[in-house]
């Protein structure tokens, strides 16, 4: 799903850049001012290339999500992608004013000052919103599932997602090699990595902690809800089952 979103968004942005580069329709640019005169050809080439670079970066990240499967290399790629997008946005905002045909020097200086303020605001907004979100998502996706039993309580945790239940609340526990279709209520839904609260066909609403789309899956059926767990390491699932079923 993430690959499809990134690929379509990237293709759209790249297509807009190619259209701008070829047709010189600078009117489609955000911030275009019809009262000013522009070097249409050079501005169209400059911003067209920026859009194509951003679109290409987005498509590349999509393919990397397929190759690295949300592992540490994908997280590093995501960080590089964010840096590139910030760079191209800042480059576009700060560089576009060079292609305005100014009538006087004062107007040019005022525009340059305004663009610097806009650039600073863009950087601050991105730093506050995008970067922390990317770090949070990256850490949440790559976190391993922790399973622990303390006296009469069981705790399952992975990244920021967790749940607890008492041994006495368990109605049944078993292992299956398949899992029905499910839909996220809250948590992480990134390809084969799913953790948090989900609605599972035939079971209702409960928690799942899944690191791969392959079984076995541990089903812990509770008086109120359920917890379904798997791991890339099959021995861990068997260990969870032995510890909770004894």
User: Could you write out the three-class secondary structure of the chain?
Assistant: CHHHHHHHHHHHHHHHHHHHHHHCCHHHCCCCCCCCCECHHHHHHHHHHHHHHHHHHHHHHHHHHHHHCCCHHHHHHHHHHHHHHHHHHHHHHHHHHHHECCCCHHHHHHHHHHHHHHHHHHHHHHHHHHHHHHHHHHHHHHCCCEEEEECCEEEEEECCEEEEEEHHHEEEEEEECCCCCEEEEEEEEECCEEEEEEEECCCEEEEEEECCCCCCEEEEEECCCEEEECCCCHHHHHHHHHHHHC
* 108/196 same-domain check: no
* Mean of pLDDT over the chain: 84
Question: Looking at residues 100-121, what average pLDDT do you find?
Answer: 74
Residues 97 and 151 both lie in one domain: no
Do 137 and 150 sit in the same domain of this protein?
A: no
Is 131 in the same domain as 155? no
Question: Scanning the structure block, which residue is given the tokens 């109605």?
Answer: 171
pLDDT for 200 beyond 90: yes
Do residue 85 and residue 181 come from a single domain? no
Q: What's the pLDDT at 217?
A: 95
Residues linked to residue 206 through DSSP beta bridges, in sequence order: 198
Q: Tell me which of 142, 163, 186 is where a domain ends.
A: 142
> How many domains, in total, are found in the chain?
2
- pLDDT for 218 equals 95
Q: Which of 206, 231, 38 is nearest to 145 (CA)?
A: 231
Mean pLDDT for 219-239 is: 92
Confidence bin at 70 (pLDDT 50/70/90) = low
- Whether residue 237 sits in one domain with residue 163: yes
Using the predicted structure, report yes or no on whether residue 130 has a pLDDT greater than 90.
no
Q: Do 179 and 126 have their domain in common?
A: no
Lowest mean pLDDT among 11-25, 51-65, 127-141, 215-229: 127-141
Mark which of 118, 142, 166 sits at the end of a domain: 142
Reply yes or no on whether the pLDDT at 22 is more than 80: yes
Domain end residue (candidates: 94, 109, 142): 142
Residue holding tokens 């979100």?
Answer: 133
Question: Are 110 and 93 contained in the same domain?
Answer: yes
72 and 157 inside one domain: no
* Domain encompassing residue 192: 146-245
Q: Are 8 and 96 found together in one domain? A: yes
State the residue for tokens 């840096």. Answer: 83
Exposure of 40 by Cβ count < 10 A (0-12 exposed, 13-18 middle, 19+ buried)?
A: middle
Residue 78 pLDDT exceeds 80: no
Answer whether residue 244 shows pLDDT above 90: no
The residues near 69 (Cβ < 8 Å, ≥ 6 apart) are: 191, 192
**Within this chain, do residues 112 and 154 fall inside the same structural domain, yes or no?**
no
- For residue 137, pLDDT over 90 is answered with no
Residue with tokens 């067209």: 48
pLDDT of residue 125: 77
- Tell me the pLDDT tens digit for each residue of 148-199: 988 889 999 998 889 999 999 999 999 999 999 999 998 888 778 899 999 9
- The verdict on 9 and 120 lying in the same domain is yes
Q: Cβ distance 226 to 202 under 8 Å?
A: no
């Amino acid at each position: 799903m993430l690959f499809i979103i990134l690929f379509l968004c990237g293709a759209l942005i790249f297509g807009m850049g190619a259209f701008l580069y070829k047709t010189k329709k600078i009117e489609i640019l955000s911030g275009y001012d019809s009262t000013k005169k522009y070097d249409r050809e050079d501005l169209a080439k400059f911003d067209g290339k920026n859009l194509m670079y951003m679109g290409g970066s987005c498509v590349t990240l999509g393919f990397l999500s397929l190759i690295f499967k949300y592992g540490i290399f994908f997280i590093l790629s995501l960080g590089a992608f964010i840096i590139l997008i910030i760079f191209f946005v800042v480059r576009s905002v700060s560089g576009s004013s060079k292609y305005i045909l100014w009538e006087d020097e004062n107007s040019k200086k005022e525009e340059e000052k305004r663009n610097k303020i806009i650039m600073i605001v863009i950087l601050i907004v991105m730093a506050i919103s995008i970067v922390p979100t990317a770090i949070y998502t990256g850490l949440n996706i790559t976190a391993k599932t922790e399973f622990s039993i303390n006296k009469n309580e069981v705790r399952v945790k992975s990244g920021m997602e967790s749940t607890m239940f008492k041994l006495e609340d368990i109605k049944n526990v078993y292992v299956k090699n398949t899992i029905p279709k499910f839909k996220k209520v809250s948590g992480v839904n990134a390809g084969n990595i799913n953790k948090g609260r989900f609605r599972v066909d035939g079971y209702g609403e409960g928690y799942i902690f899944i690191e791969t789309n392959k079984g076995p899956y541990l089903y812990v059926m509770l008086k109120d809800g359920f917890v379904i767990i798997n791991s890339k390491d099959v021995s861990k699932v068997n260990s969870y089952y032995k510890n909770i079923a004894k």
